Structure 1
Amino acid sequence: MNHLLSLALSFSMLSLLAVGGGTAVLPEMQTLLVHQFGIDHLHFVHIYSIGQIAPGPNMLMVLVIGFQVAGLLGAGVVLLSFFLPSSILCFYVGRIWNRFGESPWRRSIQNALEPISIGLMASGVYAVAKSSIVSPITLGLALISLYLILRTKINPVFVILGSGLLGYFLLKYF
């Protein structure tokens, strides 16, 4: 039961800190999982990868984390803890936000939150990259994937799947 309470409190906090989306809290989530729940960095990257290629919102990956820590009940606790607090907060803040209309104060807050959101998302990308780029092969695959996603019209799902398959064979045989 202690794990469930710890999961609920941890993921509720992450939910409220996820300014700009779930990617913004990936570094904190990764640190939390390593120190509190014993999920190592590589395992976290694998769970994150599943979330990226699975249909639906990519942050549903938190269900896998909850399941890993405390089974089916843990997945349910994490689901509610991660999505409910921020949803309730957004609902009420949205109602208040609309009352301000086109106030200069509202625009100032929006302008301040934009770079914060971008910075938090970039830190999330960095945290995942730091844990997953562990050799020249993985660095090459990451750079090729980045190039293909930015410069071509290839569906990113195919790039990710192709990189995963190529990485599997390269890392297994070289």
Structure 2
Amino acid sequence: MNPVVWSWSPDTWWTLFGHFIGLSLMSIGGAITLVPDMHRRLVLEDHLLSPEQFTSSVALAQAAPGPNVLFVALMGWYSAGVAGAMASMLGIMLPSATLTLLVSRWVATRKHLLAVQAFQSGMTPVTVGLLLATGWLLTPPVHEVRGLLLAAAVALVVWRTKVQLIWLVAAGAVLGALGWV
């Protein structure tokens, strides 16, 4: 993995804050659904993270206990230290938390309306599509068939059974340690 090179520039902090505040309002299905856009901006355009740092941020946060959104703090940390982590987390949390609070209170009193039910039903395929895009980005390159087969098998198990996800993560860790993926 490339060494961490922190930018102590307020410009970097504002860049992180601005990028994540914009993404916050699009995070239907959670911040994890925005991973492809985060990758585009932080790795490919701004070069604030290496591909390894990006993937490590997502993997570490998903393996750790706690909220799913912690990978955003790690991306900020790798980009600009503690201030980068704080700017990233404030950016991703502030707008969506405020909007969620206001909308959930509004919907709670109007869940019987057909428009509200239609909106909720219509957002399901959007969320699934964003999650598939995230999975595609984080899956090994297409020429690594074993990785794709493993991802498909895990998706099938999650979809069709009640196996706890932690066991699948542990199985993936064992397979990775054995060099299978």
* TM over 0.5, shorter chain: yes
The aligned counterpart of 1:70 is 80
TM-superposed CA distance for 1:166, in Å, is 3.2
- 1:152/1:91 Cα in 2 relative to 1: closer, same or farther (>3 Å)? closer
1:91-130 → structure 2 map (5 Å cutoff) = 91-129=101-139
2:38 maps to 1:25: no
**Runs of 5+ unmatched residues, structure 2:** 1-9
TM-score by length of 1: 0.81
Per-residue Cα deviation, 1:64-118 (whole angstroms, up to 9, x for no partner): 1111001011111111111121000111122332343411222222222222222
Identity of aligned residues (%): 26
- RMSD (Å) for aligned C-alpha atoms: 2.6
Structure 1 unaligned residues grouped into runs of 5+: none
- CA drift of 1:146 comes to 4.8
Q: Distance in 2 between matches of 1:69 and 1:16?
A: 22
State the Cα distance separating 1:153 from its structure 2 match. 6.2
The answer to which structure has the higher helix fraction is: 1
The one-character-per-residue Cα deviations of 1:117-136 (angstroms, maximum 9, x if unpaired) are 2222222222222x566634
Distance 1:118 1:151, change over 3 A: closer
SS of equivalent residue, structure 1 residue 55: coil
Match of 2:173 among 148, 161, 164: 164
Q: CA deviation at 1:145?
A: 4.7
The aligned counterpart of 1:11 is 20
Task: Say if 1:143 and 1:8 are closer, same or farther in 2 by CA, change over 3 A.
Answer: same
Amino acid in structure 1 at the alignment position of 2:126? I
Checking the alignment, whether the CA contact within 8 Å between 1:62 and 1:79 is kept in structure 2 is yes
- Work out the CA distance in 2 between the residues paired with 1:69 and 1:86: 22
> How high is the TM-score relative to the length of structure 2?
0.79
